């Protein structure tokens, strides 16, 4: 009898307990049945991240906890169930089932209220990310503070660019991630030459105001002095094997010289007493070079007048740049003049085998347009390659040439030129705000647009500096 009584009591207790929790279970079960938790892939600071999502009244909401972890923010839940998220000086507060969000003490309304499902809070990702100072665009999230401006850029590899900006009386050089825009300072300098990337993309070189030459390992960021020679060194160029540097030597860039990185010794390749060389280009085997020569204008003054009157006449006749080619194997130590015309010549590029030179020719005639021209290394075969549209810039990317050209009243165009056949292919039409193309050896394309560095990804331009 006592056993039956005990069993009865147990059954009654169980029934009461079941009756007490049934509404909770039913509500939870109903909630789980009504709201399905899924997973979606977001691109967070250029990295794919799986984040829990739900659909509420046709609107996608994302897990606050998952978003917080993805962007590297901190999360805390107060006793009153307020969710607090902090990221780089921004503090966000919200409650589940609320249409109000507070950021740095200022409250605002959400278009769609936050929702709690399975003990997790879900919110519109765009509202959440923007409240913390980031950007959100079609499942792409960025919370990276971008570098301010870009004056010069060069590809290091397909995922990184070297960006330079003026800073006071000097310059700052940064490594910038091509996908996310994350950056780190590489060098702060005063009086240093432009950083020049090695062929393998692993280091850069520069000379300081005293002529000393340094290299920086891009993986360790360590700098090493490789020469104490104090001569002026302009336009440093790496040899293809990375063992030496070519440069224009002297205050008038009269000599073409070579620096051995193994021992720091300098040797002269061409000393022809011709001043004002510029735009040094070196063949892949290091035996052939091309360059401009600029003649200085003739300045005359009336000797009968006071010098302080600054009454001088300047004759610029014959000062147009001319292109020269030199083979270091030549016995007579003389360079070959490839051009003699009066047009301006810019963006000089020597073919890897040294067989020909490409450049943009710009006539002094205001009605003329910039043309891509190729001339062989004897100067006898000169061929216009692209004369359809006004060419603004020529840049080399691997074995191909790329042109930035006029295209319309408010657009420019990017063309790819096969350096062997000379055939052209339109890459993309762009805004006329594009001022400079930057192309890697793997044909990755970036551009400067209104002072901002942008990268072409899947046919779209993305800013990676402000």
Strand partners, 461: 456
Does residue 55 form part of some domain?
A: yes
Does residue 131 form part of some domain?
A: yes
Cα angle for residues 145, 151, 153 (degrees, 5° grid) = 80
- Output the average pLDDT for the chain: 88
pLDDT exceeds 70 at position 82: yes
pLDDT at 196: 98
Q: How far is Cα 242 from Cα 342, in angstroms, rounded to an integer? A: 37
**43 and 18 both lie in a single domain:** no
If you average pLDDT over residues 104-117, what whole number do you get?
94
**44 and 106 both lie in a single domain:** yes
pLDDT exceeds 90 at position 199: yes
If you average pLDDT over residues 435-450, what whole number do you get?
94
Does residue 151 form part of some domain?
A: no
Does residue 123 form part of some domain?
A: yes
Does residue 407 form part of some domain?
A: no
**59 and 87 both lie in a single domain:** yes
If pLDDT is split at 50, 70 and 90, which confidence band does 121 have? very high
Domain final residue, candidates 111, 127, 142? 142
pLDDT at 304: 65
What percent of the chain is predicted at pLDDT more than 70?
90
Neighbouring residues of 385: CB distance < 8 A, sequence distance ≥ 6: 358, 371, 372, 373, 374, 417, 422
Does residue 449 form part of some domain?
A: no
If you average pLDDT over residues 152-178, what whole number do you get?
96
pLDDT at 216: 98
pTM score of the predicted model: 0.79
If you average pLDDT over residues 166-191, what whole number do you get?
95
**62 and 127 both lie in a single domain:** yes
If you average pLDDT over residues 283-305, what whole number do you get?
85
pLDDT exceeds 70 at position 429: yes
Whichever domain contains 81, its CATH number is 3.30.457.10
pLDDT at 202: 97
Q: What's the pLDDT tens digit per position in 2-58?
A: 444 444 434 434 433 333 333 333 334 444 446 899 999 999 988 899 999 999 999
Does residue 134 form part of some domain?
A: yes
Does residue 163 form part of some domain?
A: no
Inter-residue contact 203 to 217 (CB < 8 Å): yes
Strand partners, 203: 217
**44 and 104 both lie in a single domain:** yes
**44 and 74 both lie in a single domain:** yes
Pairing of strands 38-44, 140-142: parallel
Q: % helix / strand / coil in the chain, to the nearest 5?
A: 10, 50, 40
The total number of structural domains that make up the chain = 2
What percent of the chain is predicted at pLDDT more than 90?
73
Q: Which 3-state string (H, E, C) describes 227-284?
A: ECCCCCEEEEEECCCCCEEEEEECCCCCEEEEEECCCCCEEEEEECCCCCEEEEEECC
* DSSP letters for 339-371: ---SSEEEEEEE-TTSSEEEEEEE-SSTT---E
If pLDDT is split at 50, 70 and 90, which confidence band does 297 have? confident
pLDDT at 295: 87
**13 and 55 both lie in a single domain:** no
For the four alpha carbons of 298, 301, 302 and 304, in that order, the dihedral sign comes to: negative
If pLDDT is split at 50, 70 and 90, which confidence band does 398 have? confident
pLDDT exceeds 60 at position 247: yes
**135 and 99 both lie in a single domain:** yes
Domain final residue, candidates 118, 142, 166? 142
Q: What's the pLDDT tens digit per position in 299-354?
A: 776 666 665 656 677 777 778 899 999 999 877 778 999 999 999 999 999 999 99
The label of the residue with tokens 């960006």 reads 163
**51 and 130 both lie in a single domain:** yes
pLDDT at 147: 94
Domain final residue, candidates 91, 110, 142? 142
Inter-residue contact 393 to 437 (CB < 8 Å): yes
Q: Which helix (H) or strand (E) holds 428?
A: strand 424-431
Long-range residue pairs from 68-74, CB within 8 A, at least 24 positions apart, any chain: 70/42, 70/44, 70/141, 71/44, 71/45, 71/129, 71/132, 71/134, 71/141, 71/143, 72/143, 73/132
Q: Which helix (H) or strand (E) holds 291?
A: strand 288-293
**80 and 10 both lie in a single domain:** no
Task: Provide the 10 A C-beta neighbour count for residue 362.
Answer: 17
Query: Taking the CA of residue 8 as centre, how many other CA atoms within 13 Å lie in the half-sphere pointing to its CB?
Result: 5
**77 and 5 both lie in a single domain:** no
Q: How far is Cα 310 from Cα 301, in angstroms, rounded to an integer? A: 8
Cα 92 off chain centre by:
32
Instruction: Show the domain range for 11.
Output: 1-25
Cα angle for residues 402, 408, 428 (degrees, 5° grid) = 35
**84 and 124 both lie in a single domain:** yes
């Amino acid at each position: 009898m006592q056993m039956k009584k005990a069993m009865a009591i147990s059954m009654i207790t169980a029934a009461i307990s079941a009756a007490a929790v049934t509404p909770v279970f039913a509500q939870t079960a109903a909630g789980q049945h009504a709201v399905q938790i899924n997973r979606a892939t977001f691109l967070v600071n250029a990295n794919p991240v799986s984040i829990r999502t739900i659909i509420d009244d046709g609107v996608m909401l994302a897990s606050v906890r998952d978003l917080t972890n993805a962007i590297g923010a901190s999360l805390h839940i107060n006793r009153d169930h307020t969710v607090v998220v902090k990221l780089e000086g921004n503090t966000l507060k919200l409650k589940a089932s609320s249409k109000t969000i507070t950021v740095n003490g200022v409250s605002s309304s959400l278009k769609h209220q936050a929702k709690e499902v399975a003990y997790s809070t879900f919110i519109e990702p765009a509202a959440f990310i923007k409240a913390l100072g980031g950007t959100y665009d079609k499942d792409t999230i960025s919370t990276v503070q971008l570098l301010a401006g870009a004056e010069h850029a060069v590809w290091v590899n397909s995922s990184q660019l070297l960006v330079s900006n003026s800073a006071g009386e000097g310059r700052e050089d940064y490594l910038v991630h091509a996908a996310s825009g994350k950056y780190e300072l590489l060098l702060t300098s005063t009086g240093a030459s432009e950083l020049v990337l090695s062929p393998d993309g692993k280091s850069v070189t520069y000379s300081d105001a005293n002529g000393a030459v340094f290299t920086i390992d891009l993986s360790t960021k360590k700098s090493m002095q490789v020469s104490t020679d104090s001569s002026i060194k302009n336009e440093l160029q790496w040899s293809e094997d990375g063992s030496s540097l070519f440069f224009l030597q002297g205050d008038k860039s009269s000599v073409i010289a070579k620096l051995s990185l193994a021992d720091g010794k300098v040797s002269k390749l061409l000393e022809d007493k011709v001043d004002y060389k510029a735009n040094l280009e070196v063949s892949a085997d290091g035996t052939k070079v091309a360059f401009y020569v600029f003649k200085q204008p003739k300045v005359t003054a009336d000797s009968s007048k006071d010098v302080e009157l600054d009454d001088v006449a300047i004759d610029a006749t014959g000062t147009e740049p001319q292109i020269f080619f030199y083979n270091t194997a030549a016995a007579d130590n003389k360079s070959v003049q490839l051009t003699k015309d009066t047009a301006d010549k810019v963006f000089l590029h020597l073919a890897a085998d040294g067989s020909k030179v490409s450049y943009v020719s710009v006539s002094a005639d205001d009605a003329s347009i910039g043309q891509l021209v190729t001339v062989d290394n004897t100067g006898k075969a000169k061929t216009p390659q692209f004369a359809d549209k006004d060419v603004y810039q020529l840049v080399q990317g691997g074995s191909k040439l790329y042109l930035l050209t006029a295209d319309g009243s408010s657009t420019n165009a990017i063309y790819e030129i096969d350096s062997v056949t000379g055939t052209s292919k339109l890459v993309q039409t762009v805004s006329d705000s594009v001022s400079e193309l930057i192309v890697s050896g793997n044909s990755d394309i970036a551009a400067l647009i209104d002072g901002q560095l942008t990268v072409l990804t899947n046919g779209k331009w993305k800013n990676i500096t402000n």
